Structure 1
Amino acid sequence: MDKILQIGDAFIEQSTVFSELIQELKQSFSNKDVMVPLRHHHDFPNLEVNSESTLLLMPAWNPGKVAGVKIVTVNPENSRFNLPSIQGTYIYFNALKGTIKAIIEAKSLTVKRTAAASALASSYLSKKDSKSLLMIGTGALSINLIKAHASVRPIKNVFIWGRHMEKAEAIAAELQNEKFHVYPIETIEEKISEVDIISSATLSKTPLVLGELLKSGQHIDLVGAYKPDMREANDEVIKKSSIFIDTYQGGLKESGDIVIPLKNGILKEKDIKADLFELCSNQKPGRQNINEITFFKSVGHSLEDLTAATYYYNKYTNE
Structure 2
Amino acid sequence: MAAPSTPLFISTTTLHSILSHKTLISHFQSTLPNATVSLSTPPRHSHSTSQTSTLLLMPSFSTSSSLPYIGVKLVTSHPQNSSINLPGIHACYTLFSSITGQTLALFDATELTLYRTSSISAVASFYLSKNDAHVLVMVGSGNLSPHLITAHLSVRPSINRVIIWNRTAEKAATLADKLRRENRFKGVEFESNGCLDDVIGFADIVSCATNSEIELVKGEKLKEGVHVDLVGSFKQTMKECDDETIRRGRVFVDNEIAMEEAGELVGAFERGVISKDDVCGNLVELIKGEKFGRENDKEITVFKSVGSGVVDLLTAQLVYETVRDQTQHIS
> Shorter-chain-normalised TM-score: which range?
over 0.9
Is contact 1:5-1:101 (8 Å) kept? yes
Paired residue for 1:203? 211
Paired residue for 2:268? 261
1:61-80 correspondence runs (5 A): 61-64=61-64, 65-80=68-83
Alignment partners' CA distance in 1, 2:249 and 2:169: 30
Alignment partners' CA distance in 2, 1:77 and 1:168: 17
Task: Tell me the SS of whatever aligns to 1:260.
Answer: helix
Paired residue for 1:173? 177
Consecutive unaligned residues of structure 2, counting only runs of 5 or more, are 327-331
Pairing partner for 2:155 from 152, 157, 167: 152
Pairing partner for 2:40 from 35, 39, 44: 35
1:55-134 correspondence runs (5 A): 55-64=55-64, 65-134=68-137
Alignment partners' CA distance in 2, 1:169 and 1:14: 28
Give the Å deviation of 1:185. 1.3
1:241-280 correspondence runs (5 A): 241-248=249-256, 250-280=257-287
- CA offset digits 1:129-153 (Å, max 9, x no partner): 1121000001110000000000000
Give the Å deviation of 1:52. 2.9
Paired residue for 1:289? 296
Consecutive unaligned residues of structure 1, counting only runs of 5 or more, are 46-50
Alignment partners' CA distance in 2, 1:173 and 1:4: 40
Alignment partners' CA distance in 1, 2:20 and 2:159: 17
Matched AA of 1:245 = V
- CA offset digits 1:278-304 (Å, max 9, x no partner): 111211111111111000001001111
Alignment partners' CA distance in 1, 2:27 and 2:39: 13
Give the Å deviation of 1:84. 1.0
Identity of aligned residues (%): 39
Query: Pairwise CA RMSD of aligned residues?
Result: 1.3
Alignment partners' CA distance in 1, 2:321 and 2:98: 16
Deviates more, 1:105-114 or 1:52-61: 52-61
Give the Å deviation of 1:195. 1.5
Paired residue for 1:215? 223
Is contact 1:28-1:303 (8 Å) kept? no
Alignment partners' CA distance in 2, 1:167 and 1:317: 39
Alignment partners' CA distance in 1, 2:323 and 2:192: 36
Instruction: Give the alignment's TM-score, normalised by structure 2.
Output: 0.91
Greater share of helix residues, 1 or 2?
Answer: 2
Structure 1 residue runs of 4 or more that deviate by more than 3 Å after TM superposition: none
Matched AA of 2:175 = I
Paired residue for 1:162? 166
Alignment partners' CA distance in 2, 1:312 and 1:170: 31
Task: Tell me the SS of whatever aligns to 1:280.
Answer: helix
Paired residue for 1:53? 53
Task: Tell me the SS of whatever aligns to 1:193.
Answer: helix
- CA offset digits 1:16-36 (Å, max 9, x no partner): 221110111122322222221
Paired residue for 2:49? 44
Alignment partners' CA distance in 2, 1:209 and 1:10: 35
- CA offset digits 1:260-294 (Å, max 9, x no partner): 11111111000000001211121111111111100
Paired residue for 1:194? 202
Task: Tell me the SS of whatever aligns to 2:72.
Answer: strand
1:220-235 correspondence runs (5 A): 220-235=228-243
Matched AA of 1:103 = L
Instruction: Give the alignment's TM-score, normalised by structure 1.
Output: 0.95
Give the Å deviation of 1:80. 2.7
Task: Tell me the SS of whatever aligns to 1:190.
Answer: helix
- CA offset digits 1:210-231 (Å, max 9, x no partner): 0010111000000002210110
Paired residue for 1:48? none
